[in-house]
Structure 1
Amino acid sequence: MTAPLQDTSAAEPAAVATSEVPRKAIEGRSLGRIAWTRLKRDKVAMAGGMVVLLLVVLAMLSQPIQWMFGLDPDALHQDLIDPSLATPVGSFGGISWEHPLGVEPKFGRDIATRILEGSWVSLLVAFGSTVVSVFIGSVLGVIAGYYGGWADTVISRMMDTFLAFPLLLFAISISAALQGGAFGLEGLPLHISVLIFVIGFFSWPYIGRIVRGQTLSLREREFVDAARSLGARGPFIVFRELLPNLMAPILVYSTLLIPTNILFEASLSFLGVGIQPPQASWGGMLSSAVAYYKVDPMFMVVPGMAIFVTVLAFNLLGDGLRDALDPKSSR
Structure 2
Amino acid sequence: MTAPIETAGTAEAAPEALVEGVDKSRIEGRSLGRIAWMRLKRDRVAMAGGIVVVFLILTAALSRPIQAILGLDPNKLNQDLVDPSLATPYGSFGGMGWDHPLGVEPKLGRDIATRILEGSWVSLLVAFGATMVAVVIGTVLGVIAGYYGKWADTIISRTMDTFLAFPVLLFAISISAALQGGAFGLKGLELHIGVLIFVIGFFSWPYIGRIVRGQTISLREREFVEAAKSLGARGPFILFRELLPNLVGPILVYSTLLIPTNILFEAALSFLGVGIQPPQASWGGMLSSAIDYYQVDPMFMVVPGVAIFLSVLAFNLLGDGLRDALDPKGRR
Q: Given the two structures, how large is their TM-score scaled by the length of structure 2?
A: 0.93
Shift of the 102–20 alpha-carbon distance from structure 1 to 2, 3 Å rule, reads: closer
Which residue in the other structure is 2:194 paired with? 193
> In the alignment, which residue of structure 2 is the partner of 1:223?
224
**Is 1:22 matched with 2:20?**
yes
Distance, in Å, in 1 between the alignment partners of 2:194 and 2:244 is 28
What does the per-residue CA deviation read over 1:176-195, in whole Å, with 9 as the maximum and x for residues that have no partner? 00000000000000000000
SS in 1 for 2:28: coil
Q: 1:113 maps to which residue?
A: 114
Cα shift at 1:27: 1.1
Which residue in 1 is equivalent to 2:94? 93
C-alpha distance after superposition, 1:94-152 (max 9, x if no partner): 11110000000010000000000000000000000000001100010010000001000
Q: How many angstroms does 1:161 deviate by? A: 0.6
Q: Which residue of 1 aligns with 2:5?
A: none
Taking a change above 3 Å as real, the CA distance of residues 41 and 83 of structure 1, as seen in their structure-2 partners, is same
Give the partner amino acid of 2:95.
Answer: G
1:285-300 aligned within 5 A: 285-300=286-301
Residue in structure 2 matched with residue 240 of structure 1 by the alignment = 241
Q: Which amino acid aligns with 2:91?
A: G
| Cα distance change, pair 93–215 in 1 and its aligned pair in 2 (3 A) | same
1:22 alignment partner AA: E
Give the SS at the match of 1:291.
Answer: helix
| RMSD (Å), alpha carbons | 1.8
Q: Give the 5 Å matches for 1:110-259.
A: 110-259=111-260
Tell me how far apart the structure 1 counterparts of residues 170 and 123 of structure 2 sit (CA, whole Å).
20
TM-aligned CA distance change 1:244 to 1:84, over 3 Å: same
Structure 2 Cα separation of the partners of residues 199 and 274 of structure 1: 11
Q: How far apart are the structure 1 equivalents of 2:124 and 2:283? A: 10
Counterparts of 1:265-276 in structure 2, within 5 Å, are 265-276=266-277
- Paired with 1:137 and 1:123, the residues of 2 have a C-alpha distance of 20
Cα deviation digits, residues 175-223 of structure 1 (max 9, x gap): 0000000000000000000000000011100000000001111000000
Change beyond 3 A, Cα 1:23–1:220: farther
What is aligned with 1:4?
none
- Corresponding residue number in structure 1 for 2:6: none
Structure 1 residues 233 and 302: alpha-carbon distance in aligned structure 2, compared to 1, 3 A threshold: same
- For 2:4, the equivalent position in structure 1 comes to none
Separation in 2, partners of 1:244, 1:204:
19
Letter in 2 for 1:313: A
Compared CA separation, residues 20 and 38, structure 1 to 2 (3 A): closer
Deviation at residue 328 of structure 1 after TM alignment = 2.1
Distance in 1 separating the partners of 2:18 and 2:277:
76
Q: For 1:8-54, what per-residue CA distance to the aligned partner results, in whole angstroms no more than 9, with x for missing partners?
A: xxxx9xx99x9598364631100000000000000000000000000
Identify the residue that residue 39 of structure 2 maps to in structure 1. Answer: 38
Distance (whole Å) between structure 1 residues aligned to residue 50 and residue 19 of structure 2: 44
Alignment correspondent of 1:81 = 82
Alpha-carbon spacing, 1:193–1:330, altered in 2? closer, same or farther (3 Å) = closer
Distance 1:156 1:329, change over 3 A: closer
Q: Which runs of 5+ in 2 are unaligned?
A: 1-9
Distance across 2 between alignment mates of 1:237 and 1:285: 48
Amino acid at match of 2:97: S
- Tell me the alpha carbon deviations over residues 279-319 of structure 1, each in whole angstroms, 9 at most, x when there is no partner: 00000000000010000000000000000000000000000
Structure showing greater radius of gyration is 1
How much does 1:90 deviate? 1.1
Q: C-alpha separation between the residues in 2 aligned to 1:143 and 1:207?
A: 13
Deviations 1:256-276 (A, max 9, x none): 000000000000000000000
Counterpart amino acid of 1:50? I
The residue matched to 2:83 in structure 1 has which SS?
Answer: coil
Counterpart residue type for residue 20 of structure 2: P
Counterpart of 1:313?
A: 314
Q: 1:65 and 2:66 equivalent? A: yes
Tell me how far apart the structure 1 counterparts of residues 69 and 17 of structure 2 sit (CA, whole Å): 66
For 1:328, what is the secondary structure of its paired residue?
Answer: helix
Matching residue of 2:56: 55
Q: Which amino acid aligns with 2:105?
A: E
The 1:85–1:152 alpha-carbon spacing in structure 2 relative to 1, beyond 3 Å, is same
The whole-number CA distance in structure 1 between the counterparts of 2:206 and 2:29 is: 38
Q: Which ranges in structure 1 are unaligned for 5 or more consecutive residues?
A: 1-11
The code of the aligned residue for 1:34 comes to I
Poorly superposed stretches of 4+, deviation over 4 Å:
18-21
Paired residues, number: 318
